[in-house]
Chain A
Amino acid sequence: GENVEQHPSTLSVQEGDSAVIKCTYSDSASNYFPWYKQELGKGPQLIIDIRSNVGEKKDQRIAVTLNKTAKHFSLHITETQPEDSAVYFCAASMPGNQFYFGTGTSLTVIP
């Protein structure tokens, strides 16, 4: 089955700096890559996703890049704010299959 690795497990940045979280996957058939943000005491919530026919996608301060050849994808958060502090999960999947989640990155933005 698919194996998703996520790094780093913890990340601390100063407010206003950028944060980058990286994931790799093993199954070249995976074609959907969502990113979820989980705030304390809440369920994960989708913040951005990308499909394999696209190399990059942006939504305001958040961007995701995908390198299908190398089988890795990354989340970029610019101009970080304290409310960006949360646990972030990447995932990989394909039609009819489950989401394979990474192990999570705990992001702390220091004011």
Chain B
Amino acid sequence: DTAVSQTPKYLVTQMGNDKSIKCEQNLGHDTMYWYKQDSKKFLKIMFSYNNKELIINETVPNRFSPKSPDKAHLNLHINSLELGDSAVYFCASSQRTGVDEQYFGPGTRLTVT
């Protein structure tokens, strides 16, 4: 059973389009995250939700909008995609923020052409 799953695994789209990435965790965790990993492998936190409430919102363009319909899901919607958005996006979850292991999903490789 997959603990943290993301769909799609690959996403190729053109500049200006709008796309969504879905994330689900079946671990019963209270906190979920979105990370962006660029070509240099640096992991950058984008958002964190705890019990469906936004608790961390790093400096991310407002073209990125997270949505958490329930504790088990955290989706990422991106408007007006730009070339610089090309990266691997990881969803993660943990029971508590800052003190527990984060479980990462397999990642979504987004390519904007």
Point out residues on A near B: beta carbons under 8 Å: 31-32, 34, 36, 38, 41-46, 49, 87, 89, 93-99, 101, 103-104, 106
The docked-state distance in angstroms from the alpha carbon of A26 to that of B56 is 20
A-B CB contact pairs (8 Å), 25 listed: A32-B98, A32-B99, A34-B102, A41-B107, A43-B4, A43-B90, A43-B92, A43-B106, A44-B90, A46-B101, A46-B103, A89-B43, A93-B99, A95-B96, A95-B98, A96-B97, A97-B98, A98-B48, A99-B45, A99-B102, A101-B42, A103-B42, A104-B41, A104-B42, A106-B41
Q: Which residues of B contact A101 (CB under 8 A)?
A: 42-43
Q: Which residues of A contact B48 (CB under 8 A)?
A: 98
Kindly count the residue-residue contacts between A and B in the assembled complex, taking CB atoms under 8 Å apart.
57
Q: Which residues of A contact B90 (CB under 8 A)?
A: 43-44
Q: Which residues of B contact A106 (CB under 8 A)?
A: 41
Q: Which residues of A contact B92 (CB under 8 A)?
A: 43
Q: Which residues of B contact A93 (CB under 8 A)?
A: 98-99
Partner of B106, one of A34, A36, A42, A46: A42
In this complex, the interface size class of chain B, counting residues with CB under 8 Å from chain A, is 20 to 34
Query: Which of B4, B40, B102: most chain A Cβ within 10 A?
Result: B102
Q: Which residues of B contact A43 (CB under 8 A)?
A: 4, 90, 92, 104-107
The docked-state distance in angstroms from the alpha carbon of A85 to that of B103 is 20
Q: Which residues of A contact B97 (CB under 8 A)?
A: 95-98
The docked-state distance in angstroms from the alpha carbon of A99 to that of B99 is 9
Shortest beta-carbon distance from A47 to chain B in Å: 10
Known: A43-B104, A95-B97, A99-B98. 6 other contacts (CB 8 A): A34-B101, A43-B90, A49-B101, A95-B96, A98-B98, A103-B41
The docked-state distance in angstroms from the alpha carbon of A32 to that of B99 is 6
Shortest beta-carbon distance from A28 to chain B in Å: 15
**Nearest B residue (CB) for A93:** B98
Q: Which residues of B contact A87 (CB under 8 A)?
A: 41
Contact B45 A98 (CB under 8 A): yes
The docked-state distance in angstroms from the alpha carbon of A91 to that of B40 is 17
Q: Which residues of A contact B102 (CB under 8 A)?
A: 34, 46, 99
